[in-house]
Amino acid sequence: MPSTSSSNAQSWFKSSHSGGNTTECVEAAHLGEATAIRDSKAAEEGSLLFRPGAWGPFVSALQDGSLR
């Protein structure tokens, strides 16, 4: 998957499913026709970009544990 620079002016928000502790911090940004995610503790490392048809299956795979 292509990555996108973390320096882009995007409206990042913390995932509601991120842990309350300081070890699990995922941020997301809706970019028109795509969704980007990144590790908030390593934002300078870039992000993963998902097209609309890939986002739903990715989230489903996370929820059912098939990506572990």
In sequence order, the 6+-apart residues with CB closer than 8 A to the CB of 15 are: 26, 27, 28, 37
Over pLDDT 90: what percentage of the chain? 29
pLDDT (0 to 100) of residue 45: 93
pLDDT digit string, tens, across residues 21-47: 666 688 889 888 899 999 888 889 999
